[in-house]
Amino acid sequence: MNKMKITKLLSGLAMMAVAVLMTACLSTEEPHNAGFQFVKPANVRTSVFANTTTDSLVMLSQGIWHISADTPDARWCTIDGMSGNGYTIYALGVHFDQNTTGQSRLEQFTIYDTNYPGDAHATWQYLQHATRGDGSLGTAALVKGIKSSDDWEVSISYDAKNRPVQLEVKAPDGNKDQYRMDYDEVLSRLTVSNGSFVMTGTMDNGYQAERLIGASDTIGYAAQYYSNGIQMSANYAFNYLASRLKRRQAYAYLIGGKSLEPDSLHTADSLIYYSQWKTGSNPNVLERYKLEYGTTDNRCQTVDVNQLLLGMDECEPLQLVSMFRYCRSSYIVKKATAKDGTIDVSTELNADRSVHLMVVKNNRRGTEVTYEFTY
C-alpha cells in the first residue's frame, strides 16, 4: 500500500485535480472533521472491459477510514488496502479478474469514516463489461492462425490479457508483413511497429487507441460530415483510414444510430471501401455494399472475420485483429450487395461458437475463397 503523509494540507490539495464526489453530513452535536475527497474514481460508476485487470483508487480522508465490500459474493475485484488513517493521501491499486462469464458484472464498495460512519460515507461501483477491449466476448477463443484457399497465411500471438502482440501476414508470393504491438499501461501508450515504421497513440482502458500516428503512417478513426459541414455522430457513421507510405485505404461505415457501447449489439448497414496504391500499376479500388447479417455472433473469436469480405489483399491487418473495436459488427455478414453483384458468406462453427471455416463467394469477381481458422 502506497501512502503519503500530508504536512501542508491546503498546498498539497492545490497541486491536485481533486474531484469531490462524496461529502460528509457533519453532526452539530460534537464538532469533528469527517469526509473524503477523491481523485479516482472520477465517477460513482467506473466501467472497465472484460480483459481490464488494473485501475487505481486515489483519495484523501479527513479521518480514520475503512472500506466495506457491499457485494461479498463478487470477489473478482479487490483493492490493495481496505482501511487507513486520516489526513493521508492514499493511492491504492484496484485489481480485476478477467471476465469470462459472458455477462457484464457489478461490484460495489462503500468507504466509512470509522469513528463517524453515519456522518461520512461514500459508495462507488465498478462495472466490468462482458466484452474485451477489442469487442470480442471475454469467453472468445484466441485465433492463432488463418489459412486461405488462395494461399494467404496469418499468424497471431497474444499476451496474458488476450491482446495481440505479434501479427504476421504472408502473401502467396512469400512476402511477409509483420507487426508488433507494445502496451505501456503506465504511460497509456500503444505502439505498433511494422519493420522500420513505428506508430503510437494514446491508449484507453480497453488497450486501444483512436488513432496511431507515425512519421509516414497514420491509422485510425475519422469523422464523417453532413453537406452543411456539421460532424456526424460516430454511432451514425464514421470512417476508418489507413494511410501508409505505399498504400492508402479508407472504410466508411454507416451505423444508422445504433449504440456503440461496449456490450451493445450493432451492425454496419453499409460499407464503402476505397484503396489506392501510391506506387505500382494497381488501379484504385472503390467498392460500395449494402450489408445483410445472419444470426452468427462475430464476437466469439478474437478476429473480426467480416474484414475478410473482400479478401486478404484488401484486408487492413489491424482491423482483422480488431484493434479498432467500433469497426467490428456484432454479427457475421451473410450477404453484401453491390450494383453489379453480390458476395455470399457461409460459416462452419466450432463447439464454442467460434468460426472454424468461412467461405466467401464473390459473384462479381467469380471467385470463391475458403478460410480456415486455428486456435
Task: Categorize the per-residue pLDDT at 5 as very low, low, confident or very high, splitting at 50, 70 and 90.
Answer: very low
Kindly list the structural domains of the chain, giving each domain's residue range(s) and its CATH number in brackets, ordered by start.
2-128 (2.60.40.10), 145-374 (2.40.160.190)
Residue 283 makes CB contacts below 8 A (sequence gap 6+) with none
Task: Categorize the per-residue pLDDT at 32 as very low, low, confident or very high, splitting at 50, 70 and 90.
Answer: low
Average of pLDDT values for 145-151?
Answer: 98
Average of pLDDT values for 160-183?
Answer: 97
Phi and psi, residue 203, nearest 5°:
-100, 135
Average of pLDDT values for 332-346?
Answer: 97
CA-based nearest residue to 184, from 166, 167, 165, 168: 165
Average of pLDDT values for 309-324?
Answer: 96
SS (H, E, C) 336-348: EEECCEEEEEEEE
Model pLDDT for residues 256-276, shown as the tens digit of each residue: 999 999 999 999 999 999 998
Say whether pLDDT at 10 is over 70. no
Residue 174 makes CB contacts below 8 A (sequence gap 6+) with none
Check: CB of residue 368 under 8 Å from CB of residue 359: yes
Phi and psi, residue 318, nearest 5°:
-70, -25
Model pLDDT for residues 127-145, shown as the tens digit of each residue: 999 999 999 999 999 999 9
Residue 77 makes CB contacts below 8 A (sequence gap 6+) with 94, 95, 96, 97, 107, 126, 128
- Long-range contacts, stretch 66-75, CB < 8 angstroms, 24+ apart: 66/111, 66/112, 66/114, 67/109, 67/110, 67/111, 67/112, 68/109, 68/110, 68/111, 68/112, 69/107, 69/108, 69/109, 70/108, 70/109, 70/110, 70/123, 71/106, 71/107, 71/108, 74/105, 74/106, 74/107
Say whether pLDDT at 168 is over 70. yes
Q: Compute the distance between CA of residue 121 and CA of residue 42 in angstroms, rounded to an integer.
A: 16
- Percent of the chain residues past pLDDT 90, beyond the cut: 80
Query: Which DSSP helix (H) or strand (E) runs through 14?
Result: helix 9-14
Model pLDDT for residues 357-375, shown as the tens digit of each residue: 999 999 989 999 999 999 9
Q: Compute the distance between CA of residue 298 and CA of residue 140 in angstroms, rounded to an integer.
A: 10
